[in-house]
Structures are given as C-alpha cells and as structure tokens.
Amino acid sequence: MKFVSRKAWGAKPSRYKLVRIASTRGVKVHYEGTEVPADLVDHHERCDDRVRAIQASHLANDVEDYSDIAYNAAVCPHGYVYEGRGAHHKTGANGSATLNANHYAVLALLGSKGLTKPTDAMLHGLRDAIEWLREDGDAGTEILGHKDGYATQCPGKPLYTWVQAGAPRPQADDEDDKPATGGGKPATQPTAKPKVDLSKLVQAARTDPGAKQGHQTYAAGVRLVEKALLELGYLTSRYAGDGSFGSVTVTAYAAWQRHLGYSGTAADGIPGRTSLSKLGATTGLFTITS
C-alpha cells in the first residue's frame, strides 16, 4: 500500500475530538461529486493539495460542523492512500449518525465531471484502503456505495458499478503478465522482500543513540526501516538512509508507534514485533525475522 500519513500530506488538527469506534460492518465508497480536472491523472504533485483543500472545506463548513475531513481515507488516481480520520474513528461522510457508525468512508478523488472513471491504480488503492481498515480498524466485509442507504448519486455510475461487482482488483491486460502455459513465456516470479532482523534492530535502537554520532550497529536493516519512516512522513531525507538508529530515528519510530495507538513505554521508539510488521506491510518494503 502506498500510504500517506496525515503528517505527510499536511493535515490540520481536528476541530473537535474524533469519536472512537471499535468496529464497523464494512466500508462505503464515495466520490467528490464535483468536477475533478481530467489531467489530475498526469499530475500526482497536485493530489496532496486536493486532499488539503477537501479538509479545509470541511473544517470551514459550519452547517455540517465537521470535526475533520469527513472520510477515513482518500485515494488518488495514482493509487496513494491518504490517511483521513483513520481507523477506529467514526466517519462524518455517510449521511447520518447511524450510517456513520455502521461503515467507514473511503473517498476516491473522482468527480461528476472531468475525471469520472477510476484508473486501475485508483482501484488498487481503494482495495488497499479497504483492507487496511479491515486489518487496523476491524471493518467488516461489506463494501457498499454511499448511495446504499442514503439518497445520493455518490459514488457515481463507473465507481458504483465496480462496487456492485465486488470491488475486485484490476487484472493485467498484458499477456506477458499472465502465468505461462505450455511453451509460453515463463511467469515472472515475485521478488522476495528483504528481511529485517528484529533482534538486531532492537539492539541498534538501544545502542546507536548512545554511541558516537552516526554509529551503525545494523546498517542494512536500519536503512530499510528509515526508508519506510521517510515514506510515511515520520523521518526527513536528511537522516533517512544513514543506517544509524540514532535519537532522531528513535523519535520518528516512536511517532509511528503512537500512530498505531501505543502510548507510554509502549511508544518509546524501540521496535516491537507488531509495530515493525505493520511498518513493513504498510510500505511494502520488508518483512521481519528474529
């Protein structure tokens, strides 16, 4: 999943404390319902701005009195999943208090004019967002459109057709991407992800901050973790990739732990199995071993 944290896209603080929920029946899919420029597909650099603009409009809406951006996540045409209210937070997008409690809400950056059809990358991103909310937010198996249970055209015909089909991931059209049969081209084997040794990483997190500047106890594994923290917006490029689990990296990792809901000594910046596994899975950069 190409995950963009609230910090990474520049989210403003919530206006009110968000309502925490334990679980939902599933997820409802939304679109913007206004014109979205068709050339957004060629300009990913505009997507952060668009998500910030949606949040700003919601925070300024005194009629609806939103606490924050209404959606739990938003997905751009390039497949990036932007953290909105996030997992275990009641949405404000489904139309009523009951509907908001029953399902999370995921927004596709699609409109009623201009960009109206989802790209394959967007569909993959929507599935990523749904699976993230299932794993981290205890969402149930239902995948519905906003219009299911509420009088609206949202999420638009193209996206709703996909929802009604079960929200499948797109299949590759290129014959070379399909498994080979008989004497055809051999199927490409997936590249194994690099592994991070948890015990070595913990040793680095406990050793490097107190050693001389730039000390590297476990450079290869630390670089992978730093790259993941950089991708999610918890670490700057100045420190990412130096291979030293120094105090800056400890602070960044602690922020990731807090994002997962840990606090106190459980968010001390020393990696644990669960937080490290989720970091690897969220970014797709590594798996872990011990």
As a CATH number, domain 2-172 is 3.40.80.10
From-to residues of CATH 3.40.80.10 in the chain: 2-172
What is the per-residue pLDDT for 215? 84
What pLDDT does 186 receive?
44
pLDDT tens string, the chain, 290 residues long: the values are 889 999 999 999 999 999 999 999 999 999 999 999 999 999 998 999 999 999 999 999 999 999 999 999 999 999 999 999 999 999 999 999 999 999 999 999 999 999 999 999 999 999 999 999 999 999 999 999 999 989 999 999 999 999 999 999 988 654 444 433 334 444 444 557 899 999 999 999 999 888 876 788 898 999 999 988 888 888 877 777 788 999 999 999 998 898 888 888 889 999 999 999 999 888 888 999 86
Q: pLDDT tens digits for 30-72? A: 999 999 999 999 999 899 999 999 999 999 999 999 999 999 9
Alpha carbon distance 208, 106 (integer Å): 40
Predicted structure pTM score: 0.62
